[in-house]
Amino acid sequence: MRRQVKLIVPKGRIQDNVIRLLGRSGIRLAIDGRALRPHSSDPEIEAKILKPQNIPALISLGRHDCGFTGRDWIAERKAGVVEVLDLGFDPVRIVAAVPEDLAKTWRKRRLVVASEYENIARSFIRARKLDAIFVRSYGATEALPPEDADLIIDNTATGATLSANRLVIVDEIMNSTTVFICSRAALADSGKRAKIEEMAMLMRSILNAQERVLLEMNVSQERFSDVVKDLPCMKSPTVSPLHNEDGFAVKVAVPAKDVAALIPKLRALGATDILEYRLEKIVV
């Protein structure tokens, strides 16, 4: 058996998506209440649950081999980790926002800047050459203005919370999604590297499958060329002759977003008995 890989799973809002993806990859984690060391169905995985803010630094230090966190926290911690796979989960923007009445004047005054992202905020202040004092916040940063802060740097998915607190976005600093990362030390260990690459391959295959569906259809020999010539397939369609019939069975994995327009077009071109299937994994 290869040496165990130490995996960190994020606590909080991004945990459900990560646990679900791992489960579909064959790594089922039994999370029991407040316990932070879930049992793993994979004997090669030792799992622990931590806040995403702490994960980049701990992996960079080699205390754990791999894990999941937001790209914003990698930037904030200035962590020397290797990004293995962008999962695309929980996309947010890191933005600067001010009260509505400061939208036009915030650059011209002395500011109190509040954020959970200290390094990102201080870099923002330097880059914009602002006359500002930084104040570290601990959650609910959007509640600080106008009495306790003039400008905040926070993450937002839709901007709705900022708007509800009468804040306007005046600058966008970065975009962030959930990423799978590992330490350089883990990559230097051949056994651990092989396991991490296997995990990444399986997760990537699931993410690829989420973007496509499998269409299966029957096509007569006369209409075959018309149907297959413009099919949006990954490489080429899978084609098999029909039993005792003059025609073919055609299978093709197509982008899910195109299906609503594609099926009527295929029907008009002569395809019949069209079936649509959801995919579990696509290994390229």
> What is the helix, strand, coil percentage profile of the chain, to 5?
35, 35, 35
Query: Which pLDDT belongs to residue 79?
Result: 96
Query: Which pLDDT belongs to residue 34?
Result: 76
More confident residue, 230 or 94: 94
What's the whole-number mean pLDDT along residues 211-222? 94
Average pLDDT, the chain: 94
Range 212-278 has CATH code 3.30.70.120: yes
Task: Return the CATH fold of 92-176.
Answer: D-Maltodextrin-Binding Protein; domain 2 (3.40.190)
Task: Return the CATH fold of 5-88+177-209.
Answer: D-Maltodextrin-Binding Protein; domain 2 (3.40.190)
Distance CA 51, CA 53 (A): 5
pTM above 0.85, yes or no: yes
pLDDT band at 2 (very low <50, low <70, confident <90, very high): low
**Number of neighbouring beta carbons within 10 Å of residue 198:** 14
Distance CA 266, CA 259 (A): 10
Which tens digits make up the pLDDT trace of 136-181? Answer: 999 899 999 999 999 999 999 999 999 999 999 999 999 999 999 9
Which tens digits make up the pLDDT trace of 223-260? Answer: 999 998 878 877 788 999 998 778 999 999 999 999 99
